[in-house]
Chain A
Amino acid sequence: MNQSKRTRRYLECAGLLLLLLSPLINAPLARMDSPGVYAIREAQIMVSPGKTIAKGTIVIRDGLITDVGENARIPADARIIEGKGLTVYPGLIDAYTNLGIAQPQQQEQQRGGGRAQGAQLSPEAQQSLAEAALGDPSDSIADDLRPGGTAIEDARSAGVTSALTSPRQGIFLGRSALINLSNMDAARMVVRSPVSLTIQFSTTSGFLGGYPNSLMGTVSYIRQSFYDAIRYSDELDRYERIKRGVPRPEHNKKLAALVPALRGELPVLFAANTEGDIRRALNIADEFKLKPMITGALYGYRVADLLKQKNVPVILSVNFPRRPADQADDDEESLRVLRQRAEVPKGAGRLAQAGVKFAFTAGGASPRDFIANVRRAVENGLSKEDALRALTVNAAEILGASEQLGTIETGKIANLVLTSGDLFAKETTVKYVFVDGQQFEIKRPETPDPGRGGARPAAAVNPAGVWDLNLQTPQGEIGIKLTITREGDQLAGTMTSPMGIVTLKSVTISGNQLRATVSIPAGGDNLEGTIVGTIEGDSIRGTMSLGAMGSFEFTGSRPR
């Protein structure tokens, strides 16, 4: 008796402590190694698509759901969440993201031996960039998760509790991982790894002339890689079989990483939005008898029957094409583009109708738009039940975690979203999110996003001058010079880089935010770059995105 009373008092204290600390809950110090015990009571529970408990209780202990039902018993040691008026959904899954991907780190930058001299990259740096553009199938994101930043928190605040994550750069994107969007250390976030070998049809963009710099080259590169893996596997088998008198195969982790995919043990996830890319992916899958999955698939509805016939799971992007913001009224758009914009949001409904199994991905759009975009799919013909299925059960199944995730059932991971009502209603807000049984409060943006029309009336700084920027790439720093001139309120400039000198396509300043766009001729194609930086006095820091090469951070200064 005494014992239990003491425990309760202790827990109450802990609860108080937790409450006090809640503003800091995202700070590493507040990480809870032993999650609490919770009971959500009198809530509407969406157990699984089509199965609802009008008023029931969910009990959570040690990160798992331990009881669900109208009459589930609330343990004495549970903290109570009043669920009256709230709806509990299984935690939502964004089935393709780049969450938790490392930014280039300082040590790596230094590895290249400091800043590249002048406008030249060393042959080693070139080689290294070309290799990065190819990617490495043996990379495992689960081994290299770098949580941090606000991206995970933003996603979680939108009700996303799990995500498949994959690196961003390269043709072979390595092995993806399913992670829970908690704030625990990286190792404890991983739910399942590897989930897939991931491939995208990117090129070296002609960057430094490396192969492949064309789409058809990329397809050939992927195919040759699999043929090389077949040969490697044959060599390994022979060596295993005979050992004496046969050549010893080299140790090749890249080829070895393709073997499970060839054996059908590891699905291959192709990032493919267009009909063409999807067909390319399925052709490769056929040639090597892979188990393909498609992510993106914005135009997948055009090949819905093919996807169904081949039973290919789809991770459907809801980042639907939109009218560009700076499109002027007299800039005509083609009927083809207008039709696409009208048709693409109907894609989810069409895939459902064709019987294709699909989950959703925000497709790189803001997490706050994720559910709103799913709602658009619902407005365009997808049933709410199918939408919920895609966000939960289907995602869990496609990602191989249906025993752990996707429904609100005893024994599953306590990933839950508590909303003010119907998830797909416009006015609904997310109230609480549980990840691995840990409760998160929802942060709401207090100020309108500056990107959404809330332009700050701050006086613009003068960006004119010569800026020396250090671009931080995984291959080391690259020196870039930005020369910006100002005439009245007109800005112009040039960029000097290892790729030569080019005129900036545009330069704008808003407050202390500098933005410049540039088109760099590279092997017959243009590499489109965007530089966004924040100026403080004579120093600047920001990001440069370079087409398919990815985004790189930079710091720099303006010597006076």
Chain B
Amino acid sequence: MRMKFYTLVSILISAAITLPSVGAQGRGDAIVIRNARIFTVTKGVIENGSIVITGGKITAVGASVSAPGGARVIDARGLSVYPGMIDSGTTIGLTEVGQGAPGTVDTSEIGDNNANIHVDIAVNPESSHIGVTRVNGTTTALTMPRGGLIAGQSALINLDGWTWAEMTLKARAAMHINWPGGLGGGFEFGGGQQRAGAELRREQDRRIEELKKILRDAIAYGNAKDARARDASLPRMETDLRLEALVPVARGQMSAVIHAQVERDIKKVIAFADEMKLKIIISGAVEGWRVADQLKAKNIPVIIGPVNRMPNREDDGYDAVYTNAAMLHKAGVKFAFQTMGSAEARDLPYQAGESAAFGLPKEEALKAVTIYPAEIFGVADQIGSIEVGKLANLIITDGDPLEIRTQIKHLIIRGRDVPLTSRHTELYDKYKSRP
């Protein structure tokens, strides 16, 4: 009974995550994929191999495997199997129509400190974006809150399920912090160089101090709670939901995704994380390549994207955003890709592909949408590669999934062979046959 308060909480959370998930339709059925070229991502390529899926998981992979009787066979002759792709930053499920329909948008809460909100419970399983995204090969996405200085907690969701609970792979995946200021480095043509004047710099520093204070408060709060759990004679203390949510972050137990783009900000983020002893992931990082060595030295993972944007500085090479990933890779920084959107999420593979066009090895590009994000978010034991014991999140394609012309032939999420339909295919089918 002398269990620490937070240990208890984390046990409860992990229990929630590992609750036996009631499969969507067909989830329990066994499937065997035959005659496929299997890109395991972590264990090489298996030519003409098979994969057995039972109970939503991969139970066998190899050149010759034995399938349980009654398993449905997918003949993948001439096709390839890849792990389902992972988008490391989206708002899928939280937004439907960007402008003019605020009722469909749940991305940004009011206020500066929204540490307590967690998006998993607001994911709309019926969102048309889910189907549209997954039919292009993304099976898992980090969906995240966007508003305030501390935006709240993201969730890793599988893009299939009857309810948000079924979809959730990892609730409270990370705490999202929008780095204050976001200053300088860019330019506005005609408006002159975008400058970080002294006042703006002071303002940024003030906000960073604010953030530090909140985190220090969280530590004190957590310690006090622990102390009270040990010693019931201590006076009762008021619950502060925001600080409570920040305790694991402040203790370095929960990752903080800090959204920062430019060199100066990233450097400040690194120093901040060092001082506060946080476990961080940097998101955005359009100028990550400028600080690649420092990121490597601190082993800070980076989530790149969207890659489809203009270089940050006028004098950057025209290809500066495309080469960002290659330069981070060269420095040994771990990275993944994100689309930072919802409607745009189906184009995730092309972000990796375009980075490969500009110097990133193709295998690395594939890893950055499969195993790397799984590692970064601590779910590599469940997704990110084709290995026995992992969730059966797979795509069967007629070619390289990073190539635009490639077609997805099967999409399997947690063992379910998900129909390749979406709001878009439905509208297409309807109007294509208009007389």
List residues of A whose CB falls within 8 A of some B CB. Answer: 324, 326-328, 330-337, 490, 505-508
Contacts and interface: CB of A to CB of B under 8 A. Distances in A.
B414 to A, nearest CB: 46
A503 B275 CA distance: 31
B252 interface: no
A345 B313 CA distance: 26
Contacts of A335: 314-315
Given A334-B313, A334-B315, A328 B195 contact: yes
A326 B197 contact: yes
A336 B199 contact: no
A335 B199 CA distance: 25
Given A334-B187, A506-B200, A324 B314 contact: no
B102 to A, nearest CB: 19
- Interface size classification for chain B: 10 to 19
Contacts of B213: none
Given A336-B314, A490-B206, A331 B193 contact: yes
B199 A331 contact: no
Nearest to B200: A506
A330 B184 contact: yes
Given A336-B314, A337-B192, A337-B193, A330 B264 contact: yes
A539 B295 CA distance: 52
A516 to B, nearest CB: 10
A333 B315 CA distance: 9
Closest 3 A/B residue pairs (Cβ) = A334-B314, A506-B199, A326-B197
B193 A333 contact: yes
Contacts of A505: 199
A336 B190 CA distance: 11
A455 B196 CA distance: 22
Contact of B201 (A328, A507, A508): A328
Interface of B: 184-185, 187, 192-193, 195-202, 206, 263-264, 313-315
A331 B187 contact: no
A334 B193 contact: yes
Contacts of B199: 505-508
Contacts of B314: 334-336
A324 B192 CA distance: 10
Contact of A328 (B187, B192, B196, B313): B196
A294 B198 CA distance: 37
30 contacts: A324-B192, A326-B197, A327-B193, A327-B195, A328-B184, A328-B195, A328-B197, A328-B198, A328-B201, A330-B184, A330-B263, A331-B184, A331-B185, A331-B193, A331-B195, A331-B196, A332-B185, A332-B313, A333-B193, A334-B187, A334-B193, A334-B315, A335-B315, A336-B314, A337-B193, A490-B206, A505-B199, A506-B197, A506-B200, A508-B199
Nearest to B267: A330
Nearest to A490: B206
Contact of A332 (B193, B197, B200, B206): B193
A265 B63 CA distance: 93
Nearest to B193: A333
Nearest to A508: B199
Contacts of A336: 314
Nearest to B194: A331
A333 B264 CA distance: 15
Nearest to A334: B314
A336 B199 CA distance: 26
A336 B189 CA distance: 10
Contacts of B185: 331-332
